[in-house]
């Protein structure tokens, strides 16, 4: 009788051990899968941000250029700081044109002023605008 019972009990214990081992592996695979899904989601978010930025920058540049063209103003210098999301703009022009540019730039929803420095120039009643603009994710125009 004992000999007849040993084989099924041994087989039962072996199968229980196999099931426990497979459940442990399944749990590990689920954790790995969850981690990979989180990594994928993060990469997708980064990709989307890069896509949005690559579409946003030419649009902002075009909006600024339209305003400058509309007011017959030429840029002395423009610098983009992507990490800080800033645009440094330097313009020397007549007072009225510079004030019109400031008013028009202030109407854009994609940029806002962080700093404005106006310096009076001696030649032909010109002033120099040295502005720091922050660009944002909103791409709408007024």
Is 129 inside any structural domain? yes
Q: Which residue range forms the structural domain that includes residue 38?
A: 2-135
Residue-by-residue DSSP string for 94-139: EHHHHHHHHHHHHH-SSEEEEEEEEEE-SGGGEEEEEEEEEE-S--
Please give the share of the chain, as a percent, with pLDDT higher than 70: 95
* Tokens encoding 49: 């941000």
Where do we find the tokens 């791409």?
139
Tell me the backbone φ, ψ of residue 94, rounded to 5 degrees: -65, 155
Q: What is the pTM of this model?
A: 0.61
Say whether pLDDT at 140 is over 80: no
109, part of any domain: yes
What's the total number of domains in the chain? 1
Task: Calculate the CA 67 to chain-centre distance.
Answer: 25
Q: Is residue 82 part of a domain?
A: yes
More confident residue, 37 or 81: 37
Per the domain annotation, does 79 fall within a domain?
A: yes
Helices (H) and strands (E) in the chain, counts: 2, 4
User: Is residue 142 domain-resident?
Assistant: no
What is the spatial distance between Cα 48 and Cα 106, in angstroms, rounded to a whole number?
A: 27
Q: Does 140 fall in a domain?
A: no
Here the CATH number for the domain that contains residue 51 is 3.30.70.60
Q: How far apart are the first and last CA of the chain?
A: 92
Under the banding of pLDDT at 50, 70 and 90, the label for residue 28 is very high
- Give 38-78 pLDDT, tens digit per residue: 999 999 999 988 787 777 888 888 999 999 999 999 899 99
Average of per-residue pLDDT values in the chain: 88
């Amino acid at each position: 009788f004992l000999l007849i019972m040993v084989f099924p009990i041994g087989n039962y214990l072996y199968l229980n051990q196999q099931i426990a081992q497979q459940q442990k592996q399944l749990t590990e695979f689920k954790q790995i899968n969850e981690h990979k899904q989180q990594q994928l989601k993060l990469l997708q978010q980064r990709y989307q941000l890069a896509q949005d930025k690559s579409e946003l920058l030419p649009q902002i540049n075009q909006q600024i250029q339209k305003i400058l063209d509309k007011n017959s103003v030429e840029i002395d210098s423009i610098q983009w700081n992507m990490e800080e999301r800033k645009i440094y703009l330097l313009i020397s022009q007549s007072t009225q044109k510079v004030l019109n540019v400031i008013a028009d730039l202030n109407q854009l929803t994609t940029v806002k002023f962080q700093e404005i420095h106006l310096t009076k120039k001696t030649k032909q009643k010109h002033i120099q605008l040295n502005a720091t603009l922050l660009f944002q994710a909103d791409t709408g125009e007024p």
